[in-house]
Homo-oligomer: A and B are copies of this chain.
Amino acid sequence: MTEPQADALVADLAARARTGARLLAAVSTATKAHGLAAAAARIREHRDAILAANAEDLARAKAGGLAAAMRDRLRLDAARVDGIAAALDAVSRLPDPVGRVIDASTRPNGLALSRVRVPIGVVAIVYESRPNVTADAAALCVMAGNAVILRGGSEARASNAAVHASLAEGFADAGLPADAAQLVPVADRVVVGALLRASGLIDLVVPRGGKGLVARVQADARVPVLAHLDGNNTSFVHASADPAMAEALVVNAKMRRTGVCGATETLLIDRAYPHAAQLATALLDAGCALRGDEAARALDPRIVAADEADWATEYLDAVCAVAVVDGTDAAIAHVARHGSGHTDAIIAEDAGVAECFLAQVDSAIVMWNASTQFADGGELGLGAEIGIATGRLHARGPVALEGLTTYKWQVRGRGQTRP
């Protein structure tokens, strides 16, 4: 496919989406919820067909030499299909953000002002491997009144098409617009470029996947992007930390699942913390390799030397950088210099120190005495998430229904003219 052909395809998809979005913006909460629940029912009904499509993708992936980790992300089984349906049901029960009044006031001249949440419009999702994103992204976008254009990875094309067919049936059952959720019908990567430059046609692009994908989207997009590139998260153990709590939190933050974006990648230990060796040993014993600065290496002979790059590395593996720092200010400075603005935590019993960390660390999510692995829309009460944003505008941290809306001003007068 040539670039002009891809641009034409995207223009057509976006025009259909715009019409779908206009219709969706006026749809009642009950109808949207009904559409999502009906889609969940269709997913369950077509479970065998979805699994057959997935088996086709998996066979092609294996033949094509796709890495085992990627194939694991691609793999569906009955439980995972049920999980897709359950997520649709869960989103259908979330409160509808559209129409919510953010604030309202009356001016001295009698003009009544309000800011009201409205859908963003047309959202494109560019993602890899996991077929559940097809349903999750569509559910969140549609519940927030947006039309969505889904561009999944070519490795998952049969699975995505099968999931999308169930969604389309469910949406039709509820009378939702046919173009509320469109799947890009061709696998050619040139379409991604066309989506990214469709300024004015597409209102927002959300990339989900590996760092290569996200970096490409951030570099090339002429359309606004919500995403995070890195989750280079830090847990800082202050001198006042409770040692048992520190050990439990650090091991959980690093090792619960090492491949998620909320995993801790750097451990900072206050030089005045009396139980540093025990902490390092606990992580090592949990199977984590440690790369330390000189002071950290003195804690345990198994700790190898870190180099400068380690402080900025998101390992997504059972590896952690460890540094000993001189107190909270040094920890805050370390995070400001090396962190990625995703999720950073302090472990401390001293509330004053903790509040200082919460105030001064400028990341999307800042935590006190909690595991960084809680960085997740569901865990933070949003019911679901379309992704986590580390940019500074619009939405920060986990993005769900509210982040998929914008607002407009409504002004109600009685004939006021401006002097």
State the A residues within 8 Å of B (CB).
22, 25-26, 105, 107, 111, 113, 118, 120-121, 203-204, 224, 242, 245, 248-249, 252-253, 256, 336, 354, 358-360, 362-371, 373-374, 379-381, 391-394, 396-398, 406-418
> Chain B CB within 10 Å — which of A256, A365, A416 has the most?
A416
Give bound CA distance, A364 to B354, whole Å. Answer: 40
What are 16 A-B pairs at a CB distance below 8 A?
A25-B362, A26-B360, A107-B379, A111-B370, A224-B393, A253-B417, A256-B418, A364-B409, A366-B408, A368-B413, A369-B416, A370-B411, A370-B412, A371-B417, A380-B409, A394-B394
Give bound CA distance, A394 to B336, whole Å. Answer: 24
**Known: A358-B410, A364-B408, A396-B407. Is A415-B245 also a contact (CB below 8 A)?**
yes
Which of B118, B120, B368, B397 has a CB less than 8 Å from the CB of A393? Answer: B120
In contact, B203 and A242 (Cβ under 8 angstroms): no
In contact, A26 and B396 (Cβ under 8 angstroms): no
Nearest 8 interchain pairs by C-beta: A370-B413, A252-B417, A245-B415, A394-B394, A373-B418, A367-B411, A393-B394, A365-B409
In contact, A252 and B418 (Cβ under 8 angstroms): yes
A111-B374, A224-B224, A369-B413 known; 10 new pairs, CB 8 Å cut-off, are A26-B360, A105-B381, A203-B392, A256-B418, A362-B408, A368-B410, A369-B412, A369-B414, A370-B416, A398-B409
Give bound CA distance, A37 to B385, whole Å. Answer: 44
Give bound CA distance, A252 to B249, whole Å. Answer: 63
In contact, B249 and A392 (Cβ under 8 angstroms): no
A379: chain B residues at CB < 8 Å are 107, 111, 418
A362: chain B residues at CB < 8 Å are 22, 25, 118, 121, 408
Which of B366, B391, B393, B414 has a CB less than 8 Å from the CB of A411? Answer: B366
Give bound CA distance, A120 to B413, whole Å. Answer: 34
**Known: A118-B362, A411-B368, A418-B256. Is A107-B406 also a contact (CB below 8 A)?**
no
Which of B359, B406, B408, B418 has a CB less than 8 Å from the CB of A365? Answer: B408
In contact, B380 and A416 (Cβ under 8 angstroms): no
In contact, B374 and A416 (Cβ under 8 angstroms): yes
Give bound CA distance, A111 to B105, whole Å. Answer: 33
Give bound CA distance, A415 to B371, whole Å. Answer: 8
